Amino acid sequence: MSALLPISFRSDAVADEIQTRLTGADLNSLEFSVIPDHDWQQEWKRHAHPMSFGKRLRIWPSAPKKQETG
């Protein structure tokens, strides 16, 4: 499981919450690491690809339209 959390999170509080919600979770392998900030609105596009579900459902991600200002 991966999660993006704000830099202000407390790892002990997150670990406690995981333990509470996921009974039997192996917290011995729980790791936290800081990753550099990115332009997350652009980053998701690197991993977005068409997906098929069953024989008839296909989803093609598209870039969101820019909002006009003014």
Give CA–CA dist 56/41, Å, rounded: 29
What does the pLDDT look like over 7-40, one tens digit per residue?
A: 788 888 888 888 788 777 666 777 788 788 888 7
Query: Could you tell me the pTM of the whole model?
Result: 0.40
Give CA–CA dist 42/46, Å, rounded: 8
The whole-number pLDDT of residue 55 equals 92
Pick 25 or 5 by higher pLDDT: 5
Does 66 score more than 70 pLDDT? no
Give CA–CA dist 40/67, Å, rounded: 17
Contact (Cβ atoms closer than 8 angstroms) between residue 58 and residue 52: yes
Pick 51 or 15 by higher pLDDT: 51
Q: Kind and range of the H or E element at 51?
A: strand 51-53
Structure tokens at 9: 């999170």
